[in-house]
Amino acid sequence: MVILGIDPGSQFCGYGIIEYKSLIGKIKNSHNYIASGRIAMPIKSPLIVRLRELFLSIREVIDEYRPDEIAIEKIFFAKGIKSAITLGQTRGVIISAVLIKHKTLFEYSPLEIKKAVVGYGKADKRQVQAMVTNILNLNHPISPDSADALATAICHANIKRRE
């Protein structure tokens, strides 16, 4: 199963793609890194322009990697009302880009994601980044946005394993 994880943001949106294999009869399952990246929207552009860029970029990622399932981080908190509204619009655009491609979308809170990857729901970004690097046996650096997106994909794979 190929899983796309998305860490939404109105300036930077992380994405990560893994292949998950359930190894019958084995205690450990296989999480294989496929790709990750960061969609950077032009900060000085109006929000509507950034949202359009995000919509098109998410569709391109879906077209290129053809994930079986997609997982996105839920909104946890925002610094203020304006930030919350902007993040809500960002998530709405991502959700629309996913649904227009007829893909199934799963949502997880930051607490669920951190607990699934690090074992502790209040882990910091460095801990998440380190565990993602370890789980996927990466030998190259990844951005915090990509690490969060890959963590979302790993969280989804771990939850699917239990079903």
Q: For the segment 86-116, what is each residue's pLDDT rounded down to a tens digit?
A: 889 999 999 999 999 999 899 999 999 999 9
Q: Nearest 5°: phi and psi at 39? A: -90, 115
Active site residue 145: yes
DSSP letter string over 4-60? EEEE--SSEEEEEEEEEE--TT-SS-EEEEEEEEEEE--TTS-HHHHHHHHHHHHHH
Whether 148 sits among the annotated catalytic residues: the reply is no
Q: Given 69, 112, 145, 148, which residue is catalytic?
A: 145
Residue appearing with tokens 């650096």: 141
Q: Which of 69, 73, 112, 148 is catalytic?
A: 73
Phi-psi region of 78 (alpha: psi -120 to 50; beta: other; left: phi over 0): beta
pLDDT band (50, 70, 90) for residue 23 = low
How far apart are the C-alpha atoms of 134 and 123, rounded to whole Å? Answer: 15
pLDDT tens sequence across 67-86: 999 999 997 666 778 888 88
* Residue written as token pair 């900060």: 43
Confidence check: pLDDT of 136 > 60: yes
pTM above 0.85, yes or no: yes
7 catalytic per annotation: yes
